């Protein structure tokens, strides 16, 4: 690859994301990046290292639901070393003691208890005023409304009806009292962009995304509610070819999205990432 | 287990080429409320086969459940609230592709109160589609949106004359709208590339040609879209690299920023404005390496180390010395205001220009323009959703360009409480209105020195220690960064006053000349220390009166005659006693001690250090907080 190629689509996306990372780091007192270990989050780590010349100057947060695929835990330990990650792990031990789990509760309740509750507790504990997320506008209609810098109230609420204007590279630079700002460097990326970039940069990712016995995971969440899709795509080139043809939505295999007509909206209003 | 298979080089190159072709174009869709924007976008997605599987069926099903007729607009209006209100709330970004390339289309809202969202969408678009309802014709927001597009710099515009089915596909109606609206666009300096007659609801002239409008020989919407060009590449302009941050995570000191215009290379000499310090680009610190780029062009994020360690901070703009940005505090701008509270004259806002963030006041509101009628009025404030021309005055220098010279560095946002309320483009530089050409005022001198001037007049017998104390005071003031000068009576006697002797008349003249000199120094902003015997109270009173435009501090250095005579540093007392000097103060001529000096130093009771402190305390007392009071 040419050392100067800069006008291609992926490089433009990359350079804009780097700018967003740098503006966030310059503007906010205390930044954290939640890490799901999924492909988008791994691209974020890569972009952060590019933005800060190799070193990620803030901690990453993994909210461990205890329902991750075993391979994800292996990947976490390996990636931690490769990228030199300062990792904070939080589990909602109290909810687990109370017996909250997929065997006995609906996915929306479990997601709330095991993800959102410990996530909010961590924000209270560390007082972060900016959180970097891997949200992309193409993921879901509600996410199409997002901004690069998206303020959240102390309760974690998102006032999507009265968002600050955002133009000319000037972002909302002050977190609401007691709240924080979500910083979203991947906003303009699509699922296909993510995979093409992973291929170009050779970014480490879990192998669950590649087909075994005719099935692969397109999106990764808790194992009881995340289902593989039928796919022969067993390597990155085949995944990219498949995405160029598919018209099935990315989160089709994620059960919590499909409980009610607007479940995603409800989850997000409650502070879900 | 984690690493993906490395892609073969050939596949990687092919993907690179494909990505190049697929460079996404951002298009904004605007127009008056209910002129069919959402329906149009829904239809466009459908007709270009860009909807996810099952989406249209899902929306049809939801409509059936709620007993509503299916509309293409519902495809976009995914939020419950939107469907309830029947208007689009925010810039929904939807991706679709034609055979030629990929697009991100922004379904900007038309409802008046959501203008800020339209701005957010349109600011990132390279082209615009503006819908006009053929039946309703050109409306308020049809005009307002075009005005904003011109302000935001969106130059490629296609007008879609929609709902042609409701006017019987009439060419005459179409022609009438084209005539009226082109005339309006012309006043804004805008030209529409095409006016396309469509019926979005039925997909006529969207992707497929409309059989019902055989008279239309121009392009369909997708053909027109595919003819749009990407925004101008600013790589050919002079370098503008605003500093985003300085990283010191390890031994390296890295200047981080995004190149907003031009290009930067290792070895380039840079100047950082405001400030004007220079250094040379040593390296780019690209990760993961091992090699870094040879050049970073417009839009690229740079990580620069410098050859010489100079002071650099966030906000400064690096450029090449031959092509620098303007540096100043004041400029004239056209801006749009989106704040709930009106933009107010003399009020302070945060000015955000590139990575610069400084306080600025609206120094003047030149005109407020109704974006719909283009009528201009004069006012002291600018209501929400208006466009105006103003003079912005920053509290300190900023680096900028005029908008027509470099669009990206010639625009800014105004913020209050961390929230952006308006944006503007810079039309002209303005010479600072509080510093008119010509005379430099006392206020400006005080501002530069950081303190007002004053005259400190040391009086006392020869040998009393006036000069010694004054020199020590001068040293202390000088070291503290004050503007200070000393006018010594002995120096004057051998220069300006060398024609004068010791007669009463000559002494009076000597005091007059010394006060004139002190007046010049004080007038230029100095703390002026005068050491002169000035034995007669009447002469000293005249000096004080002549210097009344500054604070005047009389310091009486009060030493007994016997002490002065015993010191006799210059041997003058001996000469006087021998009668070689006539009318010598204290010997053959009187000394009238001041009755109420500001500082009275009894040298027999006060050490020299204490004396200096007393004088400094008196000076501090008069110069602190009096900056505004001593204007000439």
Pairs of residues, one from chain A and one from chain B, whose beta carbons lie less than 8 Å apart: 204
CA angle centred on B54, ends B50 and B58, rounded to 5°: 115
How crowded is the C-beta side of B259, counted as CA atoms within 13 Å?
A: 28
Residue B67 to residue B63: CA distance in whole angstroms: 6
Place of tokens 């019987």: B168
Specify which residues B281 forms β-bridges with.
B306
Pairwise CB contact (< 8 Å): B16 & A200: yes
Residue A77: closest C-alpha in chain B: B2
Is B131:B37 a contact under the CB 8 Å cutoff? yes
Query: Residue A117 has what pLDDT?
Result: 95
pLDDT tens digits for range B510-563: 999 999 999 999 999 999 999 999 999 999 999 999 998 889 999 999 999 998
DSSP string, B462-498: TTSSHHHHHHHHHHHHHHTT--EEEEEHHHHHTTTTT
* Residues B244, A188: C-beta atoms closer than 8 Å: no
Q: How far is B613 from chain A (nearest CA, A)?
A: 44
Q: CA-CA-CA-CA torsion for B78, B83, B84, B86, nearest 10 degrees? A: 140
pLDDT of residue B20: 38
Range name among A121-130, A158-167, B606-615 with the lowest pLDDT average: A158-167
Give the nearest partner residue to A22 out of B93, B245, B357, using CB atoms.
Answer: B245
pLDDT along chain B (632 residues), means of 10: 38 43 76 88 87 76 83 64 40 73 70 65 85 95 88 88 96 97 90 95 95 95 90 82 94 94 96 92 94 92 92 94 94 91 93 95 91 81 89 94 90 89 92 63 76 93 92 92 92 92 89 95 94 92 90 94 88 87 85 92 90 92 53 27
> How many Å lie between the alpha carbon of B382 and the closest alpha carbon of chain A?
18
Residue of chain B with shortest Cα separation from A74: B1
How far is A261 from B353, CA to CA, in rounded Å? Answer: 43
**Those residues with Cβ within 8 angstroms of residue A146's Cβ, 6 or more apart along the chain or in another chain:** A135, A137, A182, A184, A187
| Crossing angle (nearest 10°) for helices B140-152 and B115-122 | 40
Q: Which domains does chain B have, with CATH numbers?
A: 24-226 (3.40.50.300), 234-319 (2.40.30.10), 329-429 (2.40.30.10), 442-630 (3.40.50.300)
Distance from CA of A102 to the nearest CA of B (A): 27
The pLDDT of residue A119 is: 94
> What's the maximum distance between 2 C-alpha atoms anywhere in chain A?
56
Phi, psi of B376 (to 5 degrees): -105, 140
Q: Kindly list the residues from chain A whose CB atom is less than 8 angstroms away from the CB atom of residue B78.
A: 141-142, 144
d(CA B409, CA A243): 39
Q: What is the pLDDT of residue A266?
A: 56
Residue among B20, B254, B420 whose CB faces A164 most closely? B420
CA-wise closest residue to A57 among B519, B188, B591, B287: B287
Closest residue in A to B258 (Cα–Cα): A19
Contact A261/B252, CB-based, under 8 Å?
A: no
Q: Which residues pair with B335 in a beta bridge?
A: B388, B424
Does the structure show a pLDDT above 80 at A142? no
Predicted ipTM?
A: 0.89
> B interface mutation test: which of A145, A167, A194, A203 has the most B CBs within 10 A?
A167
Contacts of B4 in chain A (CB under 8 A): 198-199, 202-205, 210, 235-236
Question: Which residues contact residue B169 at a Cβ distance below 8 angstroms, ignoring those fewer than 6 apart?
Answer: B197, B199, B210, B212, B213
Contacts of B15 in chain A (CB under 8 A): 196, 199-200, 240
Token pair, residue B106, equals 């922004």
Under CATH, which number does the domain A9-190 receive? 3.40.50.620
Which chain B residues have a beta carbon less than 8 Å from that of A238?
none
pLDDT at residue B543, as a whole number: 93
Task: State both tokens at A69.
Answer: 């695929």
B92-97: strand order across its sheet: B92-97, B102-107, B25-31, B127-133, B156-162, B192-197
Tokens matching residue B308: 């010489």
* Cβ neighbours of A191 in B, within 8 Å: none
Alpha-carbon distance B96 to nearest alpha carbon in chain A (angstroms): 10
| Partner residue opposite B287 with nearest CB, options A22, A25, A49 | A49
pLDDT digits (tens, 9 = 90+) for A150-159: 888 877 677 7
């Amino acid at each position: 690859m040419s050392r100067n190629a800069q006008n291609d689509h992926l490089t433009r996306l990359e350079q804009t994301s780097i700018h967003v990372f740098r503006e966030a780091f310059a503007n906010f007192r205390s930044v954290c990046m939640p890490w799901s270990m999924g492909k988008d989050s791994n691209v974020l780590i890569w972009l952060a290292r590019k933005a800060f010349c190799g070193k990620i100057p803030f901690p990453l947060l993994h909210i461990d639901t205890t329902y991750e695929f075993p391979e994800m835990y292996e990947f976490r330990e390996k990636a931690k070393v490769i990228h030199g990650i300062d990792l904070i792990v939080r589990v909602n031990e109290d909810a687990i003691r109370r017996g909250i789990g997929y065997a006995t509760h609906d996915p929306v309740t479990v997601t709330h208890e095991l993800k959102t509750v410990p996530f909010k507790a961590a924000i209270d504990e560390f007082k972060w005023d900016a959180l970097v997320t891997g949200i992309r506008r193409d993921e879901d209609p509600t996410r199409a409304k997002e901004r690069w810098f998206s303020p959240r109230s102390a309760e974690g609420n998102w006032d999507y009806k009265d968002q600050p204007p955002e133009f000319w590279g000037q972002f909302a630079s002050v977190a609401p009292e007691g709240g924080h700002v979500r910083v979203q460097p991947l906003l303009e990326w699509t699922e296909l962009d993510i995979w093409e970039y992973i291929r170009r940069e050779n970014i480490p990712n879990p192998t669950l995304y590649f087909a075994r016995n005719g099935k692969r995971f397109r999106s990764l969440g808790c194992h009881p509610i995340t289902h593989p899709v039928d796919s022969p795509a067993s390597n990155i080139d085949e995944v990219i070819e498949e995405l160029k043809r598919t018209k099935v939505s990315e989160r089709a295999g994620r059960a919590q999205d499909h409980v009610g007509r607007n479940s995603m909206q409800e989850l997000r209003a409650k502070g879900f990432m | 287990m984690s690493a993906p298979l490395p892609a073969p080089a050939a596949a990687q190159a092919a993907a690179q080429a494909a990505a190049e072709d697929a460079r996404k174009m951002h298009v904004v869709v605007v127009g008056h409320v209910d002129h069919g924007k959402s329906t149009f976008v829904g239809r466009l997605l459908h007709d270009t086969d860009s909807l996810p599987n099952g989406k249209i069926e899902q929306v049809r099903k939801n409509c059936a459940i709620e007993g509503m007729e299916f509309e293409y607009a519902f495809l976009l209006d995914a939020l419950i609230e939107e469907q309830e209100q029947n208007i689009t709330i925010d810039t929904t970004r939807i991706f679709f592709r034609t055979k030629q390339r990929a697009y991100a289309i922004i379904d900007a809202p038309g409802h008046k109160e959501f203008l800020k969202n339209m701005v957010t969408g349109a600011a990132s678009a390279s082209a615009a589609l503006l819908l006009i309802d053929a039946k309703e014709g050109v409306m308020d927001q049809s005009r307002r949106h075009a005005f904003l597009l011109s302000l935001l710099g969106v130059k490629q515009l296609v007008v879609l004359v929609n709902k042609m089915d409701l006017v019987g596909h009439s060419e005459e109606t179409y022609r009438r709208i084209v005539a009226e609206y082109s005339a309006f666009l012309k006043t804004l300096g805008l030209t529409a590339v095409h006016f396309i007659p469509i019926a979005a609801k039925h997909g006529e002239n969207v992707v497929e040609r409309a059989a019902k409008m055989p008279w239309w020989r121009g392009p369909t919407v997708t053909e027109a879209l595919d003819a749009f060009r990407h925004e101008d590449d600013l790589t050919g302009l002079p370098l503008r690299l605003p500093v985003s941050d300085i990283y010191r995570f390890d031994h390296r000191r890295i200047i981080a920023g995004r190149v907003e215009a031009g290009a930067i290379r290792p070895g380039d000499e840079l100047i950082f404005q405001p400030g004007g310090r220079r250094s040379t680009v040593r390296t780019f610190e690209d990760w993961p390496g091992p090699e870094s780029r040879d050049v970073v062009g417009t839009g690229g994020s740079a990580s620069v180390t410098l050859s010489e360690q100079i002071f650099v901070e966030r906000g400064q703009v690096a450029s090449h010395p031959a092509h620098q940005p303007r540096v100043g505090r004041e400029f004239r701008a056209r801006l749009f205001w989106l704040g709930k509270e009106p933009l107010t004259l003399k009020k302070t806002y945060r000015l955000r220009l590139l990575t610069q963030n400084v306080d600025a006041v609206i120094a003047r509101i030149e005109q407020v323009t109704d974006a719909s009628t283009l009528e201009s009025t004069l006012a002291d404030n600018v209501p929400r959703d208006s466009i105006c021309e103003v003079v912005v005055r920053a509290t300190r220098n900023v680096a900028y360009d005029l908008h027509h010279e470099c669009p990206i560095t010639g625009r800014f946002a105004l913020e209050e409480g961390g929230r952006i309320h308006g944006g503007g483009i810079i039309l002209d530089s303005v010479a600072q209105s509080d510093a008119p050409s010509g005379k430099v005022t006392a206020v400006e001198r005080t501002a530069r020195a950081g303190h007002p001037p004053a005259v400190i007049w040391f009086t006392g017998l020869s040998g009393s220690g006036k000069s010694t104390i004054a020199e020590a005071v001068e040293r202390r003031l000088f070291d503290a960064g004050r503007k200070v000068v000393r006018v010594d009576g002995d120096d004057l006697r051998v220069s300006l006053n060398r024609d004068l002797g010791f007669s009463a008349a000559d002494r009076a003249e000597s005091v007059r000349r010394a006060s004139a000199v002190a007046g010049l120094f004080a007038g230029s902003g100095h703390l002026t220390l005068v050491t002169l015997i000035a034995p007669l109270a009447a002469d000293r009173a005249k000096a004080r009166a002549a210097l009344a435009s500054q604070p005047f501090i009389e310091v009486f250095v009060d030493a007994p005659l016997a002490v002065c005579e015993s010191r006799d540093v210059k041997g003058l007392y001996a000469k006087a006693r021998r009668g070689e000097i006539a009318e010598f103060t204290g010997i053959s001529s009187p000394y009238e001690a001041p009755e109420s000096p500001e500082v009275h130093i009894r040298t027999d009771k006060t050490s020299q250090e204490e004396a200096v402190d007393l004088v400094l305390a008196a000076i501090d007392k008069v110069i602190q907080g009096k900056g505004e009071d001593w204007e000439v």
